[in-house]
Chains A and B, each alone.
Chain A
Amino acid sequence: MEEVNPSDVVDGDAVAGDQAGGEVDSGAEESGRSIREYLFATEPNPPLESNAVESLIDLENGGLPRVARGLKKIARVEGQPAVLDVALGLLEEFVSRSDLEFELDGDGDGGEMEIVE
């Protein structure tokens, strides 16, 4: 009799409904994963197939994304290390907030008419 896998016997609804009550702690030392492995994990990641730069000369989607895709193919890595995601994400957040503050602190042209007498 063919065996089944654990995932075959739970459905998505059951899992989602119990996530809040089912504390799951992967337990680094007993599951064998070190802090280093967590920081440099590259999964889950979007597959290379999802990048829309496979065709020749795609001026809209090419450029740096194509370069990145090529480097991933060379390195045979589909994702980037988790710690890099965290660092870049924080930098992006900082930059976007800085830009927003710059706009808010600008000359406020929008909305106010200069009264000229």
Chain B
Amino acid sequence: MSEWWVDANSLASLGASQVGKTSVVRELHAETSRVSIWLNETGDERVGNVTGKRVRSTGGLKSGFAEDVRRYNFLSRDRRSDVVGLQEWLWSVAERADRRLPLQVVIDEAHRAAPQTNADGVPHRDAVRKLSKEGIKRNIKLVLITQDPVAIDKQALRQMKYRLVFPMANEQWDALSKYGFRRDLVEDAPEYTGVLHHQTGGVLQDEVRAKEKYA
């Protein structure tokens, strides 16, 4: 299995709507050996077909952990609040486990949980930043999905070791030009296929596509 799939380095899955960026992460969430928590939303914004025990709070996560459950669909009514609590709790978990419990946190529509803003003291944005910068030290892999990479917190995005890039709108390509994404490879790739880039700009895998059952 590829390193990017299993190691603790963070991953950003970027692209327009309905291009396959969420499907790949669904597969990662379902099949990883890590304990994976998908911080989902409720209502119309909820991402469907996410495997795992449904919980609505960190209390639910604790109950699941006591039963050695390894997949969670965290249906949050207020993700901005819950991401803060989740980050704090995972820090204590990592401490207790002495970093020996591989964990993963998935946040879709990540630009809503970690918006780009220059304001100080934005708890939810800061929690995502912490996960992106310090998660690896605690064996926590952060996976962000967004169809608006321009609107997501740039500090968090810069920390993403892996960038899985799918087709995007022109203005988004222009705004992300300094990241060195291979637009030519992305646009030539088959449908629902992304190109995996490293933080340093190199291409690690030029065709990444989810299995059919996760589409």
Interface residues of A (CB under 8 A from B): 1-10, 12, 14-15, 18-27, 30-32
Contact = CB atoms under 8 A, between A and B. Distances in A.
B129 interface: no
B52 A30 contact: yes
Contacts of A8: 96-97, 101
Listed from nearest, the 8 A-B pairs whose CB atoms lie closest are A22-B59, A18-B59, A27-B54, A6-B65, A22-B60, A9-B96, A24-B60, A23-B56
A15 B68 contact: no
Contacts of B52: 30-31
Interface in B97-125: 97-102
Interface of B: 35, 49-70, 73, 93, 96-102
Contacts of B98: 4
Contact of A5 (B53, B54, B68): B68
A95 to B, nearest CB: 35
A4 B50 CA distance: 25
Contact of B55 (A5, A10, A24): A24
Given A6-B65, A14-B62, A18-B63, A25 B35 contact: no
A2 B99 CA distance: 10
